[in-house]
Chain A
Amino acid sequence: AQSVSQHNHHVILSEAASLELGCNYSYGGTVNLFWYVQYPGQHLQLLLKYFSGDPLVKGIKGFEAEFIKSKFSFNLRKPSVQWSDTAEYFCAVNEAWAGGTSYGKLTFGQGTILTVHP
């Protein structure tokens, strides 16, 4: 079974600070990796995803993540955060080549709440 671990439960930053949120996964096979964001009172939205190829993935709103296979990590980064980035961030995985309906069977991490002070 897969498991996902996010290192920080709550991160507090000032605007313009750099962000890095840690995510490690445990699984014996190959996985697809995702970062989702949940703004207060809103639904989960996909920030970025990694299936294969270039391990540095760029997503929406200036976010990027790097897949390091040897470390089973998929850390999320942003060079300069804004107050509007205040949200909860979830790392998630599913089995690679999870075809059909298994594609949506995600295993989520515990989430990291990011608070950005103006």
Chain B
Amino acid sequence: AAGVIQSPRHLIKEKRETATLKCYPIPRHDTVYWYQQGPGQDPQFLISFYEKMQSDKGSIPDRFSAQQFSDYHSELNMSSLELGDSALYFCASSERQAGGSPLHFGNGTRLTVT
């Protein structure tokens, strides 16, 4: 079965550079969620999109932005990278329904900022 695809798997950037992470949801899933998991920490919700519109916002820095495109894939854009941005970023997708289908997570993108 198709899963959530994230690219790239690994990314190394220097401070103050920019990075773009991509997430391709499971077909027919219309909602995408982004999470950040720092080293040894629990996943923290960043932002979510439904039908190309931002639906919820969590602890996402102003330096980050995201969007969902017409094919439902989503991109997380990160600018002015800081060392503390080094983390595993993973996205999840679902079909929008109350208390419905569980989230399907991608394998994540491991970002290292040097």
Contact = CB atoms under 8 A, between A and B. Distances in A.
Interface of A: 4, 32, 34, 36, 41-46, 49, 51, 90, 96-111
B65 interface: no
A109 B42 contact: yes
Contacts, number: 74
B29 to A, nearest CB: 10
Contacts of B106: 43
A54 B45 CA distance: 29
By secondary structure, the A interface counts as mixed
Interface residues of B, number: 29
B6 to A, nearest CB: 9
Q: Which 9 A-B pairs have the closest CB atoms?
A: A99-B98, A101-B55, A44-B105, A108-B42, A43-B105, A104-B33, A101-B50, A46-B102, A43-B107
Nearest to B93: A104
Given A46-B103, A90-B42, A97-B99, A105 B58 contact: yes
A44 B99 contact: no
Nearest to A4: B42
**Interface residues of B: mostly helix, strand, loop or mixed?**
loop
Contacts of B4: 43
Nearest to B96: A100
Contacts of B100: 103
Contact of A110 (B31, B41, B45): B41
B45 to A, nearest CB: 5
A1 to B, nearest CB: 11
Contact of B45 (A51, A96, A106): A106
Contacts of A106: 43, 45, 103
Contacts of B49: 101
Given A105-B48, A106-B45, A100 B58 contact: no
